[in-house]
Structure 1
């Protein structure tokens, strides 16, 4: 009998638990009000090489674990972090930075100029995300002063001094540091469960403005899982792709942040003559025709791309430069979506549909080519497909093809590719368009060559400071005659600047976010975040 009653009690308890789970299914996961749980993955990718800045981690973003020499605020104004000030030599080749003397790493050891020198020398040797090819030497003058020597003048070098988190020289191990990093940033490393989560806790000895949140947990989730976590109330912030931007989540608000992350298609500017660079074929016999490039730039309606694949969250781009950057050039813009103009450009250049298949021809060459894109990125796929649909009306056939980056690397100089760019470093333009860099890594995939534009870039690098360089970088877009604008050479088909979208809990105020670069920088102003109407436990 007793056994029977016990079974009945167990059954009743089970029913209560099931019913409770049904009614409480959308309740938030318990966490303290001074903790943040964020679902990341749409923009903030889990680093394959671990949390090691010398191998490219957090390039041009807030590393959280490490400190940088300088930072940029929400207005892109340069701010000191470890640095107190800097000077440059008259020839622009020597940069001297004075750093704070009151900073400790998370293990209690003192941070000195030797650690800064060690970090940058390691980064230069690794050749990861940060371009330090012109850096010949970094040395500690004393404990609080570090000297950087370049092999040529480079006014943009200041941006690289904001891009690398500083690691400790003592005890650094190239094989293990990224798995168990030590820094001097606002948060300490606690735990990394690969493919699942990163757990950080606040650095109570942080020298700067300390975040209000004691614990920060990043959940590495795919798009569907991140959205599901937001719906269940399991996270405070969720990175969401634009495809989810129309969705609604109880007790969360969708926030769209301006970005400098642009999408554009490189269009090889030279014919395919059998030439190879580093073993890679160069040139495309369709896109080498300037009339094809100009027709696409004038005929494509970028607003349709914004309203379609971007769900209305973005801006037009004609030169790949963020609209709010100091070297942005409004003169580069054109009136796009002009099919009549596009068709006239093609007709005047001799492109005709002689066989009635809807595809133009010229000298026996069909106006048909492939555009490659990263296969795992649905947004890039949507953009290329939309461009192809618009180009078809002009008589140009575009064949979208998704591939891995390793595969794209072998075809980048002969096939158009949809790229994503966006940093606060203007020298990105140099790598995209300088004629002598064709085939150097991912540089100048369009094989663009204009001596006047080259000169603008050289003048920008040789400028006495970053402010003086902006007018030269601006002329790269358009100087009234030459430039990368559709008005001039149209070497690329630049498309859009995409907003970054997040679901944010209504109890959370994320302050004035920094401008979002390629890959996002959600935590760039973490010190401003606060609870305004706490509902967490």
Structure 2
């Protein structure tokens, strides 16, 4: 078909909506950062995922508190220690009218491992199954090598694509580039792709045949607005109906405004400092070719030099809580006794001296300037506090796209990063950001510290194969303590996520930080 869907005009979209009887409503959302791909299996990143979960469905979905609920799978059960059976929803159609069957599940579970150059691959969620078998059109068996009690949690993160629409002459089917142009971008979700102009806007239109009922909006327009002031101004002017991440400095003004509503909640996103623990490393010019970050005493010193209370109260202005674990309690696997590192610059200086760096060293701290709440300002605060103990720190704050590219090429020795636990429990960050990178196991997909601890890996692996909840939680707690005692990374804070809405609009705040169009309603 020669029609380029990105060129659909607003008039054509409106006509399509009227023709199908969808109510003529438009929702305009101001995003705090732009997505970098429409391929639902390319980059496990919040802004990408929230669009993917609007166009596509998963077998199991998560509610606002990350509890599992049925989606394309109506039910699931373990029929033995290494086999899960999923019964699929009947009568579901893809956007092109073709039926959803088990063949689409098999295709979608195999595809993530075949997507090239993924910065944060979805194999984290798919590698636990050694085989996915279509028993009939509406029954799928997931076969694992060992007991895998968290398989349903993992599958809540994998979008189901149309095997027919995504078919192509390369291993992964339709390529990421083709999907970014709307080719083969066919899901079962409440909204269909209409157009995407990178850096300007993404337009989705209602799927009139959505199995979950009529979508709430005829058309949804997402506009990336990385500038905080511009995003707030657009909300106040009525140019958008909803914005992500209102800046902390404006929260009181917005809460006091009768024409604005704020929805917020504690999120699952940890903001942390990633420290490259390999040699050679970029960004440390005056350590005689050595990498001081390989020494646990240096990593401990850098953590002790950070005043987390000051950062969360002054820079985050209450939109963050100091972190002493990978997730906030009481999420599954967290430790009630986990405390943030105590601020002690004098002890930090002593540790540096003990490690052989009495005069410190120089380092560059990379940071995005438009991805997390006040990210560049937090990085500057950390740099200032490190400099006070003799670690002369320069901040390189760039837009998120450039930052992630540089980070993935190990151009920073230290980087300010965030991780949101997609499954809402402790195994997710442990497998993703501290386990040794292992593509076959799906471990270490976002471990950019190059930290490796085989003993820790073994306990994580034992935890995710332990069926008993209490025993699994104890192993996860042991793993998180081991990683943090070893200063695998430096936790800073957990974000409190907020949305600003015009009067008359409502949104239930989500722990996973996703902005989902079909979750927005009119009062």
TM-score normalized with structure 1 length: 0.76
| Structure 1 residue 152 displacement after superposition | 5.3
1:381 to 372, 376, 379: 376
Q: Which residue of 2 aligns with 1:462?
A: 465
Tell me the CA shift for residue 146 of structure 1.
1.5
What are the within-5 Å matches in structure 2 for residues 14-163 of structure 1?
35-43=25-33, 45-48=34-37, 50=38, 52-56=39-43, 58-59=48-49, 63-88=53-78, 90-92=80-82, 94-126=83-115, 128=118, 129-131=121-123, 132-150=126-144, 153-163=147-157
Q: CA deviation at 1:36?
A: 4.2
Does 2:383 align with 1:391?
no
Distance 1:411 1:177 in 2: 28
Residue 475 (structure 2) aligns with: 472
1:369 aligns with 2:363: yes
- Would you say 1:504 and 2:501 are equivalent positions? yes
CA distance in 2 between partners of 1:72 and 1:79 (Å):
6
Classify 1:106/1:447 alpha carbon distance in 2 versus 1 (closer, same or farther; 3 Å).
closer
By how many angstroms is 1:254 displaced? Answer: 3.6
Partner of 1:5: none
| Paired residue secondary structure (1:63) | helix
Q: Quote the Cα distance in structure 1 between the aligned partners of 2:381 and 2:356.
A: 23
Instruction: Tell me which residue corresponds to 1:523.
Output: 516
Q: What residue in structure 2 maps to residue 29 of structure 1?
A: none
Residue 514 in 1 paired to residue 510 in 2? yes
Q: CA deviation at 1:98?
A: 1.2
Q: Find the aligned partners of 2:101 and 2:501 in 1 and give their Cα distance.
A: 38
Report the CA distance between 1:106 and its aligned residue: 2.7
Find 2:189's aligned residue among 170, 185, 190: 185
Based on CA coordinates, which of the two structures has the bigger radius of gyration? 1
Preserved CA contact (<8 Å) 1:268 1:284:
no
Structure 1 residue 112 displacement after superposition: 1.0
Instruction: State the distance in 2 between where 1:446 and 1:184 align.
Output: 37
* TM superposition shift of 1:284: 5.4
Give me the whole-angstrom Cα distance separating, in 1, the residues matched to 2:422 and 2:370.
26
Q: 1:177 to 1:284 in 2, by over 3 A?
A: same
1:437 deviation in Å? 4.5
Match of 1:415 in 2: 413
State the Cα distance separating 1:105 from its structure 2 match. 1.9
Query: Who is 2:12 aligned against?
Result: none
Q: Distance in 2 between matches of 1:400 and 1:192?
A: 33
Measure how far apart 1:391 and its partner are: 2.2
The 2-side partners of 1:160 and 1:81 are apart by 14
How far is the alpha carbon of 1:68 from its aligned partner? 1.2
Structure 1 counterpart of 2:428: 427
The alignment covers a number of residue pairs equal to 464
SS at 1:171 equivalent = coil
Q: Distance in 2 between matches of 1:113 and 1:432?
A: 32
Contact in 2 for aligned 1:457/1:476 (Cα 8 Å): yes
Q: Which runs of 5+ in 1 are unaligned?
A: 1-31, 277-282, 353-359, 533-537
CA positional deviation for 1:72: 1.2
For 1:267 and 1:182, the matched residues in 2 are separated by: 39
Show the counterpart of 2:302. Answer: 296
**1:99·1:145 contact (CA, 8 Å) conserved in 2?**
yes
User: Does the CA-based 8 Å contact 1:367-1:395 persist in structure 2?
Assistant: yes
* Aligned counterparts of 1:408 and 1:250: Cα–Cα separation in 2: 42
Q: Secondary structure at the match of 2:294?
A: coil
CA distance in 2, matches of 1:35, 1:346: 60
Structure 2 unpaired stretches of 5+? 1-21, 168-173, 283-288
Structure 2 CA distance for aligned equivalents of residues 104 and 466 of structure 1: 37
Work out the CA distance in 2 between the residues paired with 1:152 and 1:344: 46
Change (3 A) 1:506 1:60: closer
Equivalent position to 2:451, from 448, 460, 463 = 448
Q: For 2:79 and 2:434, locate their aligned partners in 1 and report how far apart those are by CA, in whole Å.
A: 28
Asked if the contact 1:309–1:382 (Cα under 8 Å) also holds between the matched residues in 2, the reply is yes
Aligned match of 1:22: none
Alignment check: 8 A CA contact 1:263 1:420 kept? yes
Shift of 1:237: 0.5
In 1, distance between residues paired with 2:52 and 2:32? 17
Structure 2 matches for 1:290-369, cutoff 5 A? 290-334=296-340, 336-346=342-352, 349=354, 360-361=358-359, 366-369=360-363
Distance 1:36 1:284, change over 3 A: farther
DSSP 3-state at the match of 1:330: coil
Distance 1:299 1:55, change over 3 A: closer
> Any idea what SS the aligned residue of 2:110 has?
helix
- 1:508, CA displacement in angstroms? 1.3
The answer to whether the 8 Å contact 1:298/1:339 transfers is yes
Residue 260 of structure 1 contacts residue 322 of structure 1 at CA under 8 Å; is this kept in 2?
Answer: yes
**Residue 232 of structure 1: how far off its partner (Å):** 1.4
Compute the TM-score of the two structures, normalised by the length of structure 2. Answer: 0.78
Q: Residue 311 of structure 2 aligns to a residue in which SS?
A: helix
- Aligned-pair distance for 1:99? 0.7
Residue 413 of structure 2 aligns to a residue in which SS?
Answer: coil
Please give the alpha-carbon distance, in whole angstroms, between the structure 2 residues aligned to 1:369 and 1:162: 39
2:231 pairs with one of 216, 226, 231? 226
CA distance in 2, matches of 1:465, 1:197: 47
Cα deviation digits, residues 94-137 of structure 1 (max 9, x gap): 43311111212233322111111122222332164312345443
